[in-house]
Amino acid sequence: MSYIVIGDKGAEELAEALENNTTVKKIDLMSTGIGNKGVYALAKVLPKSAVREIDLSHNNIGNDGVEALANALKNNSAVTEVYLSHNQIGYEGANELIKVLQNSHDVTEVFWHEYSYHEEKLKVSQALKNDKTAVIIDLARNQISRSEMGKKWLNKALEQINTVPEIHLIHSYIGDEEIKTLVESLNNNSTVKKLKLGCNQIGNNGAKALADFLRNNKTVVKIDLLCNQIGYEGAKKLAEALQSNNTLQELELKHNQISNKLLQDINELLKKHELQAIEELQAEKYNLELKVADDYTEVPFLGDEDSSATLNM
């Protein structure tokens, strides 16, 4: 339904249809012209519905609409993902979401890109930090790293979160110093598997910090460094780190200051890692099949002469 303008009236009709529906799990209402009135109607039926994911990005939702949505989430144990990017949400609306998230163990993802009131967005993300079931930190296209408070919060959050496998920090004004702090925070983290750091200001020193981190890391499988400022020296350090790291399978380095030859060499190393991972999975599967077969042969069969099972009639 996304990109079809239904407006508030269409949202109200959709809400009526959802009221007694127990099968719809996802609602995609991106760019559909919905404002506060339409969100009021949807918020009323959310607690009674089976909806788990709702996308309301690129609409005309303001503080009042978000407040109604926040109140609905208080009484809803199903919704886990909410998309609200590109709306007209200010301080008051953000505050209402913060209150819900601080006490919620259900909402695991809030995508809120390019939000004008960055301090409140920061608090929303901090509220998610306290939820031990969070699965993604997505702070792409924000200005957190431009303030000292933002940098300190981000570092503290990364140190405390132990359940997040992905961190998205694309377009976040991150430079070499922020990367050094980031990898320090991740040194004791064994759950983060993907880092999206594209379109930032990461140079050779930041790449070297990542290379040092990768030498001892056995968890991260993908790093996106597209469109940064990494040159030959930084890329060379990353390539050297891959010699001792067999875990990383994807390293995006296009649109940096790196020669095609060096990019090709790095890709060859990553292919070896991927093949090794496949071989390890196949070996695990084979060993499991052997174990199941061994366990099966140990189970006595009623027809065996030596079976101790007795059937009395």
State pLDDT tens for residues 9-29: 999 999 999 988 889 999 999
CA-to-CA distance for 121 and 219, rounded, in angstroms? 29
pLDDT tens, residue by residue, 169-226: 888 788 998 899 888 888 888 888 999 999 999 999 999 999 999 999 999 999 999 9
The percent of residues in the chain predicted with pLDDT above 70, rounded, is: 61
Contact between 203 and 176 under an 8 Å Cβ cutoff? The reply is yes
135-295, what's its fold? 3.80.10
Q: Does position 41 have pLDDT exceeding 50, yes or no?
A: yes
Please report the pLDDT score of residue 52 as a whole number. 87
Q: Between 186 and 103, whose confidence is greater? A: 186
pLDDT on residue 188: 80
**Residue with tokens 């127990």, as numbered in its chain:** 22
Q: Which is it for the CA torsion 6, 10, 12, 13, positive or negative?
A: negative
Mean pLDDT of the chain: 76
Q: What is the mean pLDDT of residues 60-71?
A: 88
Q: State residue 124's pLDDT score.
A: 47
- Residue 55: pLDDT over 50: yes
Cα distance between residue 196 and residue 174, in whole Å = 11
**Strands annotated E in the chain:** 26-28, 53-55, 81-83, 109-111, 136-138, 166-168, 194-196, 222-224, 250-252
Give the highest mean pLDDT range of 104-108, 120-124, 284-288: 284-288
pLDDT surpassing 70 at residue 73? yes
The pLDDT of residue 255 is above 90:
yes
> What is the number of alpha carbons within 13 Å of residue 161 lying toward its C-beta?
28
C-alpha span between 168 and 200 (Å, rounded): 12
Inform me whether the pLDDT recorded for 154 exceeds 80: no
Cβ–Cβ under 8 Å, residues 158 and 186: yes
pTM above 0.75, yes or no: no
Q: Is 279 exposed, middle or buried (0-12, 13-18, 19+ CB in 10 A)?
A: exposed
Q: Which of 243, 244, 170 is nearest to 200 (CA)?
A: 170
- Would you state the pLDDT for residue 226? 96
219-to-66, 165, 167, 206, 222 alpha-carbon distances in Å: 37, 9, 13, 19, 9
On the question of a common fold for 1-113 and 135-295, the answer reads yes
Q: Which region among 67-76, 119-128, 271-280 has the lowest average model confidence (pLDDT)? A: 119-128
- What are the C-alpha distances in Å from 259 to residues 13, 222, 243? 56, 21, 19
Domain 1-113 has CATH 3.80.10.10: yes
Q: What is the pLDDT of residues 128-152, one digit of tens each?
A: 455 444 445 555 555 555 556 556 6
Every domain of the chain and the residues it spans: 1-113, 135-295
Q: Report H helices in 187-306.
A: 204-216, 232-244, 260-298
Both tokens of residue 177? 């110093």
